[in-house]
Amino acid sequence: MHSAILITYDNEDSIKEAYGLCEAAGYKVDKLIRQKFLNKSRYGIGEGKMLEIKELSEKIKPDVLIYDEILKPSQNYNLASKLKINILDRESLILEIFERRATSAESHLQIKLAQFRYEMSRAKEKVRLAKMGEQPGFMGIGMYEVDSYYNDIQNRMRSVKSKLVKMGKQRALHREARRRVGLKTISLAGYTSAGKTTMFNVLTGETKQESPELFTTLSTTTRKTMIEKYPALISDTVGFISKLPAYMIEAFKSTLEELKYAEVVIVVIDISDSEMDLRKKYRSCLKTMADLDVDQERVIYALNKSDLVEPEDIIKKAEFIGLSDSKKWVPVSAVSQQNIPKLMELVKKMIERPPQQIKEIPRKQDLTKFYEQDDD
């Protein structure tokens, strides 16, 4: 395992999540540095802190510095040139995790696309700086090289996109076939580590890998099951996380897109989280679902890990995050299986509703558009 100095925000939830991300990417944290602000212009952190870290890093010699915020290329460059150490910001850390976890051909392509977009945003900045004549030869790359590098990424991106479009089309055909034979679809969604896979295993009798690490699941797994007399397909999906740049969600959209077409979406929430964490994650779920155009009428909130929380606290927490009476929610535990029948009852009721207008298969040009966002 590689070693790291971790810089994150000065609150327990951020620290816990940052540790989780480091572990998932295979880094052992040798030293934790808490900061109130990580968005200062030159180095992200203040100059004094930077010098302190320089001294520390010369002493403990970590493999990398992990910076739990998104760094601009110039900030990354400033920090790296002072500290003489490799720097991973939140984006590249998450990309590393995704890369380690990807199993399907589609998720590999999605990650590649996200990496290209990451590179591209950096290349754009490099070109901008070079053009302004501010930093000629910025990061050791001359104008000509930047341009050809930029074009090269663009070409490779084009090829990845067209493969993803083909796969998206394939998915649409599968969806249509399922609909024709009357198979209902149920998707599990939620923040990473909420317990989606554990729930999936309970609902399907599967033994997919579940673990306390973040982002255990990156590819969608689907299994057939029966909801009483109704044949149905249940899918496990990649987890959400907050502070993910839009292009990264974009890259995973074709997998997450399945949520839009599901008859029922079970959003798994870890109710054992602190109130602040719950609120942050719940909001991030709502936002992702809104981005994906998921109809809230089809959503059930499964407040999971209720075995770890007192019943009255569950209600208090549900109210705190704003799961009003109009939303369907049920406390459950995938581990003790408490209330699983009640969850299934809710799912069945939703399946039995008169069929609503089913969204059309997206046309090829729509899918293409889907991957074409502001890369040029």
Ligand X SMILES: Nc1nc2c(ncn2[C@@H]2O[C@H](COP(=O)(O)OP(=O)(O)OP(=O)(O)O)[C@@H](O)[C@H]2O)c(=O)[nH]1
**Which residues bind to Mg ion, rule: CB under 5 A?**
196-197, 216-217
Residue with the closest Cβ to ligand X? 239
Q: Which residues contact 292 (CB under 8 A, 6 or more apart)?
A: 253, 256, 257, 259, 260
Q: Provide the minimum distance between the beta carbon of 113 and ligand X in the complex, in angstroms, as a whole number.
A: 20
Instruction: Kindly state whether residue 216 participates in binding ligand X, applying the rule CB under 6 A.
Output: yes
> Cα–Cα distances in Å, from 330 out to 264, 289, 290, 303, 313?
14, 19, 21, 6, 14
Contact 195, 305 (CB under 8 A): yes
Cβ-count burial 333-369 (b if 16+ within 10 Å, e if not): bbbeeebbeebeebbbebbeeeeeeeeebbeeeebbe
Q: Which of 68, 96, 210, 273 binds ligand X (CB under 6 A)?
A: 210
Q: Provide the minimum distance between the beta carbon of 308 and ligand X in the complex, in angstroms, as a whole number.
A: 5
Contact 259, 238 (CB under 8 A): no
32 vs 249 by CB, closer to Mg ion: 249
How is residue 40 annotated by DSSP? Answer: B
Q: Phi and psi dihedrals of 269, rounded to 5?
A: -120, 135
**What is the pattern of x (binds ligand X, CB under 6 A) and - over residues 278-317?**
--------------------------xx-xx---------
103 annotated to a ligand binding site: no
Q: Provide the minimum distance between the beta carbon of 253 and ligand X in the complex, in angstroms, as a whole number.
A: 16
Q: Which does 195 bind (CB under 5 to 8 A by kind): Mg ion, ligand X, none?
A: ligand X
Q: Which of 194, 203, 248, 265 binds ligand X (CB under 6 A)?
A: 194
The whole-angstrom separation of Cα 63 and Cα 42 is: 23
Cα angle value 305/23/304 (rounded, 5°):
10
Q: Which of 35, 193, 220, 254 binds ligand X (CB under 6 A)?
A: 193
Q: Provide the minimum distance between the beta carbon of 16 and Mg ion in the complex, in angstroms, as a whole number.
A: 18
74 vs 193 by CB, closer to ligand X: 193
336 annotated to a ligand binding site: no
Q: Which of 35, 107, 115, 198 binds ligand X (CB under 6 A)?
A: 198
Instruction: Kindly state whether residue 214 participates in binding ligand X, applying the rule CB under 6 A.
Output: yes
Q: Which does 307 bind (CB under 5 to 8 A by kind): Mg ion, ligand X, none?
A: ligand X
185 vs 193 by CB, closer to ligand X: 193
Please give the size of the binding site for ligand X, defined by CB under 6 A: 23
The whole-angstrom separation of Cα 30 and Cα 53 is: 13
194 annotated to a ligand binding site: yes
Give bridge partners of residue 184 from the DSSP assignment: 232
Q: Provide the minimum distance between the beta carbon of 296 and Mg ion in the complex, in angstroms, as a whole number.
A: 23
Q: Which does 338 bind (CB under 5 to 8 A by kind): ligand X, Mg ion, none?
A: none
Q: Which residues contact 213 (CB under 8 A, 6 or more apart)?
A: 20, 23, 24, 193
Instruction: Kindly state whether residue 192 participates in binding ligand X, applying the rule CB under 6 A.
Output: yes
Amino acid at 143: M
Q: Which residues contact 291 (CB under 8 A, 6 or more apart)?
A: 249
Q: How many whole angstroms from its chain centre is CA 20?
A: 13
192 annotated to a ligand binding site: yes
Q: How many CB atoms lie within 10 A of CB 297?
A: 9
Binding residue numbers for Mg(2+): 197, 217
Interface positions with ligand X (CB under 6 A): 190, 192-198, 210-212, 214-217, 239, 304-305, 307-308, 333-335
Binding residue numbers: 190-197, 215-219, 236-239, 304-307
Binding residue numbers for GTP: 190-197, 215-219, 236-239, 304-307
